Amino acid sequence: MEKDPQEKLNEAIIGGESEAAKKATQEQLKAGVSPIGIIKNMGKAMNVVGKKYEDMEYFVPDLVMAAEAMNKGLKLVLPKLGTAGSVFKGRIVMGVCRGDVHDIGKNIVVAMFRGAGFYVVDLGIDISPQKFIEAINKEKSQIVGASSYISTTIDELKKLNEEMKKAGIRNRVKYLIGGRQSIQNTCKTLVLTHSPTTLSRRLGW
């Protein structure tokens, strides 16, 4: 018996199959499933992935492939949503800090936040504090996430914090940090230790 598109999409994301995820998303859209409904289901699939990672059944490569699969489907869904604030739980700007190009973890987290219903602007790699702040202001985001992997870029996480204070926006923005340096050196890694669903509850969204 043919599986329904939602089940196929779940399996594709959990299995990290990008083309299958794309196809299943197309089928759901064609069948009239609401974009927000599709995203919610993607989020559930990513939560399964997250749980498998916590249980050490999955490892980082599985997260990476699952995130890719989800993003493949999201690319079809997001244009149909628009960016109206009421559709999303919150708006996040994320990037890898200046001088660093390691983005595996950041890409996974971006996918998980999108699956959890957040509007995420992914700035990419090597992002200066000024670029982060410009994006926060432009996107009117409530959350900013920055990551640092190599030891020499840990200062950039602190600089972003200081620059946001100078720009007068630090009080209205929740600041998440991630990456190996944040784990070793500084703060709680809310993103890496909590699923986005849990995180969104903790943040009161």
Query: Could you tell me the sign of the dihedral formed by the alpha carbons of 35, 41, 42, 43, in that order?
Result: positive
User: From residue 187, how far is each of 147, 160, 192 by CA, in Å?
Assistant: 12, 14, 12
Could you say which of 185, 187, 201, 202 contacts another protein (CB under 8 A)? 185
Pick 92 or 154: Cβ nearer another protein: 154
Under rule CB under 8 A, how many of the chain's residues touch another protein? 27
Which residues ranging from 117 to 156 are in contact with another protein (CB under 8 A)?
A: 126, 150-155
**Number of helices (H) and strands (E), helices first, in the chain?**
10, 4
Could you say which of 46, 65, 133, 160 contacts another protein (CB under 8 A)? 65
Least distance (Å) from another protein to the CB of residue 115? 18
Residue 129 sits at φ, ψ, to 5 deg, of -55, -35
Told to check if 16 binds another protein by CB under 8 A, we report yes
- Distance from CA of residue 79 to its chain's centroid? 17
- The contact set with another protein (CB under 8 A) reads 16, 53, 56, 58-62, 64-65, 68, 99-101, 104, 107, 126, 150-155, 180, 183-185
